Structure 1
Amino acid sequence: MRHIRNTFGTVGAAAALALTGAVSTGTAHAQPAAGAAGLYAPSALVLTMGTGEEAATATVGRAVTLSCAPLPGGTHPSPGAACKELRAAHGEFSGLVDTSPQRSCTREWDPVVITAQGVWQGKPVSWSATFGNVCEMEGGLTESALFSF
């Protein structure tokens, strides 16, 4: 059983701006030329994986930051590939999750939650998906660089 929730606008503007600043200042990459920074809508996310039935009560096991504009960065192990994948999906996280994976898994109920919180191309993002167990999550994310951390 999977539960996918996509909610826009739940992250306050102040929190989104703070997240953008925190993520982009923590990365080590070249900055755009003076005045060019205004050409990029902020794209800064915190991605998590945890155990529990829903994002609000899950125990986070792993978390990374991902900044995609102006350059890929953050603590994500493959920020370039993750940003490319998210751009190709037009920021639709649900498009990166296979809801019918071709994988056999046990029916063990040990829920796993993945989340994305922050800002994507200037718009607040709050997204989560719950899988019945780790096997189902891995089957649903086999092609995802975004959640490979």
Structure 2
Amino acid sequence: MRNTARWATTLGLAATAVCAPLSGTALASPGTAPSALYAPSALVLTVGHGESAIGATPVRAVTLACAPRPSGTHPDPVAACAELRGVEGDFSALTARSDVLCTKEYDPVVVTVDGVWQGRRISYEHGFSNECVKNAQSHSVFAF
């Protein structure tokens, strides 16, 4: 009998722990989604000297979270998240800026991105001939 009472108490507490956060969703006002219902978007962006991530000398790394609101150690998370939303998180769709002129100096850098964009796993790597070309590839995403 003691085990039955213990199991009933345990199940009751477990049900409360699981269902309590869900009960708050019914209280959300019409037209707004509770912050617990967003698809996660959190990325780690790195840059290093070299032609590929394997063997590159790491220089810096930043974090970028875009949901529920832009944050992270990226210098401009608001602009970077807006730019990524514009290409639906497809880093290869970022277009080079036409207002930037770069030298033809060859000092290769490589950018890597790992994480999750709107619940979808992202892994991206791209090499650039120099730092200026990397910065010109996007308006804000790679400017760190």
Task: Give the TM-score of the pair, scaled to structure 2.
Answer: 0.68
The count of residues paired between Structure 1 and Structure 2 equals 113
- 2:132 — aligned with what? 135
The correspondence for 2:40, drawn from 39, 42, 58, is 42
Distance in structure 1 (CA, Å) of the matches to 2:81 and 2:100: 25
Superposition map of 1:1-149 within 5 A:
35=25, 36-98=34-96, 103-106=101-104, 108-141=105-138, 144-149=139-144
- 1:12 — aligned with what? none
Residue type of the partner of 2:71? G
Give the unaligned 5+ runs of structure 1. 1-33
Structure 1 residues 125, 41: closer, same or farther in 2, change over 3 A?
Answer: same
Asked if the contact 2:135–2:142 (Cα under 8 Å) also holds between the matched residues in 1, the reply is no
Distance in structure 2 (CA, Å) of the matches to 1:63 and 1:46: 7
Distance in structure 2 (CA, Å) of the matches to 1:82 and 1:104: 22
C-alpha RMSD over aligned residues: 2.2
In our comparison, the structure showing a higher alpha carbon Rg is 2
Asked if the contact 1:100–1:140 (Cα under 8 Å) also holds between the matched residues in 2, the reply is no
Distance in structure 2 (CA, Å) of the matches to 1:58 and 1:101: 29
Q: Which has the higher helix share?
A: 2
- 1:23 — aligned with what? none
Residue type of the partner of 1:42? P
Distance in structure 1 (CA, Å) of the matches to 2:76 and 2:98: 25
How far residue 139 of structure 1 moved from its aligned partner, in angstroms, is 3.5
Asked if the contact 1:101–1:140 (Cα under 8 Å) also holds between the matched residues in 2, the reply is no
Distance in structure 2 (CA, Å) of the matches to 1:76 and 1:111: 22
How much identity, in percent, do the aligned residues show? 51
Distance in structure 2 (CA, Å) of the matches to 1:101 and 1:49: 23
Structure 1 residues 53, 99: closer, same or farther in 2, change over 3 A?
Answer: farther
Distance in structure 1 (CA, Å) of the matches to 2:129 and 2:44: 22
